[in-house]
Amino acid sequence: LLLQAGYDTELRDGDGWTPLHAAAHWGVEDACRLLAEHGGGMDSLTHAGQRPCDLADEEVMNLLEELAQKQEDLRNQKEASQSRGQEPQVPSNSKHRRSSVCRLSSREKISLQDLSKERRPGGAAGPSLGDEDEGEEEAADHPPVQPRALNGVSSPVSSSPKSPVGEEAGPAERSLECSTVDGGSTARRQRLQRDLNPESKQEQEEPDGSFRKLYMELRRENERLREALTETTLRLAQLKVELERATQRQERFAERPALLELERFERRALERKAAELEEELKALSDLRADNQRLKDENAALIRVISKLSK
């Protein structure tokens, strides 16, 4: 998804590692293949001067060598296609230069017409159409021999002798024809560009729209995952609380037999002590009875002794 969204495969972290370095180091073959197919550099170096092959796991070493060879073959094919595509561009440039000469010759036409009006006598009429046609035929029969420079652009000049009117009319007609042809080709080219521009705009807008649509889908998916993560976190907290309560109950249940045994032992000790106290109470009552009997006997003896003394 990140590669389809246009993320750069050469992004680096603080140590200079690219995603391909990490995929090679952890031995993830699918990630290595995807990154190499989308332009991941097999010769990218980290800050320590290490390539992906230097950090690669043994299991993906053969795969990285194959991917590096494929990248080299694709690079060679691309360079060869670019060199072949640059060769046929020379005729188009020369044609463009010829069309620019025709556009400049239209200005020459206007200047020549102004000169012909100045040289023409007041009562004389302009050159007829027949003279212009003759000038064009002579210009077509006699090709140019020596170029002459005009405003930094070369334009052909006929070597055959002509009358002043023919010399003025010939270049003017030639420039008019060239400007007409160039104007027609320029108009056609502009129409073609106008016809093609909507398609190119649509092609440019379609990727932008697809990227925007993909971005919105990823954003919605991210929001959904974030909500799911929040719910999972809350559920985990609840489970932790329930687990703690269950642990406490289990501990209490585990301690209950010991408490029961302790209570039973204490009850037995109290019962024994109570029995001992009961026995002591019985002995005490016997001692009280003996004491009372001894008191009575003592009183009787005192009475006897007093009678004997009298």
Question: What DSSP assignment string belongs to 22-35?
Answer: HHHHHT-HHHHHHH
Which residues are CB-contacts of 141 (< 8 A; sequence separation ≥ 6)?
160
> Using CA atoms, how far apart are residues 15 and 10, in angstroms rounded to an integer?
13
Q: What is the pLDDT of residue 59?
A: 75
pLDDT of residue 132: 47
Rounded to two decimals, what is the model's pTM?
A: 0.26
Average pLDDT of the chain to the nearest whole number:
71
Q: What three-state secondary structure class fits 5?
A: coil
- In this structure, what token pair is assigned to residue 186? 């320029």
What tokens were used for 257?
Answer: 């037999």
Please check the confidence at residue 5 and state whether its pLDDT lies above 60: yes
For range 97-117, the mean pLDDT: 56
Reported as a single tens digit per residue, the pLDDT across 189-221 is 666 666 555 555 555 555 566 888 889 999 999
The radius of gyration computed from the CA coordinates of the chain, to the nearest angstrom, equals: 58
pLDDT of 146-179, one tens digit each? 444 344 444 444 444 444 444 444 554 555 554 5
pLDDT band at 55 (very low <50, low <70, confident <90, very high): confident
**Domains of the chain, CATH where assigned:** 19-80 (1.25.40.20)
* Angle between helix 29-37 and helix 19-26 axes, rounded to 10 deg: 150
For residues 185 and 179, what is the distance between their CA atoms, to the nearest angstrom? 10
